Structure 1
Amino acid sequence: MLRQVNERSGVGLTFVGRAAAGEVGAGFVRWPDGRDGVLTRGFGSLDDLRRTARVLDAARSGGLPVPQYQLLTEVMDGVAVVQERLPGWPPEVVDRALLEAMIALTDRFAGLGADLPVPSMYLLESGPGFCLHESLLRYDGRTRRLLDWVREVGRDEPSGMTGDDLVHLDFHTGNVLVDEAGELTGIVDWDGIGRGDRLFGLVTLRFDAESRLRFDADTRPPLDPTAPQLDAETRPPLDAELGWFDELLEGVLEPGVLRLYWAHMSLRLVDWSIRHHGPADTARWLDFAETRMS
């Protein structure tokens, strides 16, 4: 991809290395003047990505730590994006302080999405490479029951997101950067972007918190890093540790809206785990999805 970018734009970028994290992949590159960038394959058309670049520029001017899109170039099988490499690195410890900082940051998304399309929840039809209904339909009886519920939610009201906020559709702890003190320095991966309700990001983050703090319960860090480490027998239940987050969701979201967002995330994570991870991960996401299926 980098060879194509250089051939088509003549910018003379050099390859620095692959990014270690992420599901899809990215590469670190360097401009001839020494600036560092990140090379990814864009999601959407060139016009879509130019619109994303304009929205991110407005967000940056408002003080949000988001990257500038430095170059957009059509390549053989899509659009290559070279964006600013922000300072910091993905957080090694996910604790309550980080989650609360990310939650607070979403308030600054208010009203910034007016120029963007409203994203689909894909509850009645498969999404473009994610939120696929077919995988749940084929997998087993339990996933078919989840799919029935997802479609029931999709036929109910509200059936979609409303509002003019900037929405990061994949707002999780793997898509933020922190400094040595644990302060947030960046929000990345803006291919998933839309107009709607910034509080959708809280539900995405709640699913991520479940994955980080429950799925790997034996090795997870405590939510309070200053607290003494507890062995498995004396460690408090994870439900108690994340109860504050569940209470927050129930306090800021109407029941029907929370149900809508929960159905979308359940479909997204169960489908992805079926196709990319395996039975154990799929079972865990089903367990969590079913906690709000009533």
Structure 2
Amino acid sequence: MGAGVRRADRVTTHEWPRSPRIDAGHVLERIADITGVRLELEGPAPGGEVGAAYVRWPDGRRSVLTEGRSRTGPLVDKARAAGVPTARQELAAHVDGARVIVQQRLPGTPPERVDAALIRQMIAVNDRLAGLLAGEPAPKPADLHLTADGPGFCLHEPLERHSDRTARLLERIHAIGAQHPAMVGDDLVHLDFHPGNVLVVGGRLTGVIDWDGATRGDRHFDLVTLRFMLTGQDPSAVRLLDERLETISARRRQAYWAHMSLRLVDWSIRHHDDATVEHWLDVAESGLT
């Protein structure tokens, strides 16, 4: 398969489909048309690949506009009831085929520095998600997309065609997926748990945001995501995660790491430059044994 594709034959990044960023001004106009509520655009919110924006209600309240799936609202409510600081949804509408939400603006900003103290707080948040969905009807296990494309992310063809190195990584991902294709469990999983999706004030964690991918499964997936993103950073923070992840099987760790490898390398091929692709390839390869 793609391992035989030469680097000179690679497909350039701009030829791959990209996920569009939210056009906040247009969305606010459509929300006004649909609901009669006119929100004022204050400006873009920091971070995120698809984007979010700060908005103001007519009564002066400040909120956040973003995209979101309808099924995640009840899951976020469960996380909040368990003591996780999450934002309440205040308005939802379908705009041009996408669901957009206006949600409570939590205090704080994404951390400028990630240290062991923050990671301890994030691990504590992760612990609160244990077994939250045990009383709910069990759906089909969450697909890790290791053998077939995900819905707009975790695409396989970009890795197959980008370079020899990405094609070899994809072969490894397929081999892991053949043994462990899905994630099972009764925990609530954030699915994109990293420092860019938490808010802090003075080093204290004040919010966990961007629950759009929330699902049922194994909360340790979120810790593997966090570990993946922190590779090469503060050794004390990384050590805390490695110690916690020793409590799960190597097979599960490999499957979750393979998912993150596919997700970040694919996304970088389609949305970023070669240096970013090479960075996430280094990280991916460092954890696949």
TM-score, normalised via structure 1 length: 0.83
TM-superposed CA distance for 1:247, in Å, is 3.5
**In the alignment, what sits opposite 2:189?**
167
Which amino acid in 2 is paired with 1:27? A
Structure 1 regions of 5+ residues with no counterpart?
A: 214-222, 224-237
* Match status 1:137 vs 2:160: yes
Which amino acid in 1 is paired with 2:241? F
**In the alignment, what sits opposite 2:211?**
190
TM-superposed CA distance for 1:241, in Å, is 7.0
**In the alignment, what sits opposite 1:63?**
83
* Cα RMSD, aligned residues only: 1.8
Q: Report matched runs for 1:109-120 at 5 Å.
A: 109-113=129-133, 114=136, 118-120=141-143
How many residues align structurally?
260
**In the alignment, what sits opposite 1:235?**
none
* Match status 1:88 vs 2:108: yes
**In the alignment, what sits opposite 1:217?**
none
Contact preservation (8 Å) 1:115, 1:195: no
CA distance in 1, matches of 2:204, 2:228: 22
Contact preservation (8 Å) 2:64, 2:102: yes
CA distance in 2, matches of 1:166, 1:245: 19
TM-superposed CA distance for 1:266, in Å, is 0.7
* Match status 1:283 vs 2:272: no
TM-superposed CA distance for 1:159, in Å, is 2.6
CA distance in 2, matches of 1:55, 1:248: 24
Q: Report matched runs for 1:142-291 at 5 Å.
A: 142-156=165-179, 158-179=180-201, 181-210=202-231, 213=233, 223=234, 242-249=238-245, 251-291=246-286
SS for the counterpart of 1:81 is strand
Contact preservation (8 Å) 2:116, 2:240: no
Deviations 1:143-180 (A, max 9, x none): 11110111111111x3311111110110000000001x
TM-score, normalised via structure 2 length: 0.84
Contact preservation (8 Å) 1:5, 1:80: no
CA distance in 2, matches of 1:208, 1:10: 41
Which amino acid in 1 is paired with 2:242? D
Identity of matched residues, %: 50
